[in-house]
Amino acid sequence: MPINFNMNINPLDLLKFFKECWGQSINPRQINPVLETMKRCKGLIAFVSAGSGASSAKEAINFHKHGPDNLSGPMLHHIWLLYSPLSQSGAEELKDYAEKRNIKCSKKKLDITDDVHNIKRIKDQLDKVADEAIEEGMRYEDIAIDLTGGSKVVSLGFFLSALIYGFKLQIMIPNEIDENGRAVPDAGSKPFSIELRCNK
């Protein structure tokens, strides 16, 4: 499938493109999503949710900074926080939390209240993040993008941007859930990467 400028691309067509590049005949049934132990990254992109949702972002910061044992050498250099008007205070708190740990932190306001399905506006903010990362000499594959916070549309915008740029997909899995199936913040969470595995 040739890809030209000024054409629409179904994200699923990218798989066909990759299959052509690989020169292999792969059945879609052979490709399955898997959760793998997350590897630490130099950059982190996260959406700040209103309320207690910011706790998982702190845990992600700690993991990428000093590892799961909190004893490893520093790795995380820059975190980009996207936030809504409702989560501005949470973004300020996380920015302060990161900077006290000598991590550069940039905030990007994401206001889609007038058009909650505007994925393009989400992508525009992530384009700015990508530009800043390159200016700092950071590779896209050295950046984790967390899908945990935000609405379904925000998560979709994050996912598509990861597909376009090659960011590492990350999700925070809670250590404990309550009777309603919601994460228990005090129990903590762990980061996992979302990958595709091709099985024979």
CA dist., res. 166 & res. 73, Å (int): 25
Residues in Cβ contact with 176 at an 8 Å cutoff, skipping those fewer than 6 apart: 183, 184, 187
DSSP run (H or E) holding 79:
strand 78-83
Say which residue, 6 or 148, is predicted with more confidence.
Answer: 148
User: What average pLDDT score do residues 127-150 get?
Assistant: 93
pTM: 0.84
**Domain definitions of the chain by residue range:** 34-198
Q: Do residues 140 and 133 lie in contact, with contact meaning Cβ atoms separated by under 8 Å? A: yes
DSSP 51: G
Give per-residue pLDDT as tens, 73-129: 789 999 999 998 888 999 999 999 999 999 999 999 988 778 778 899 999 999 999
- pLDDT averaged over the chain? 84
The pLDDT value recorded for residue 158 is 93
CATH of 34-198, picked from 2.40.10.10, 3.40.50.2000, 3.40.50.10770, 3.40.50.300, is 3.40.50.10770
Angle between helices 88-99 and 54-66 in degrees, nearest 10: 20
User: Tokens for 183?
Assistant: 């994460």
Confidence of residue 148 (pLDDT cuts 50, 70, 90): confident
CA dist., res. 167 & res. 171, Å (int): 13
% of the chain at pLDDT higher than 70: 84
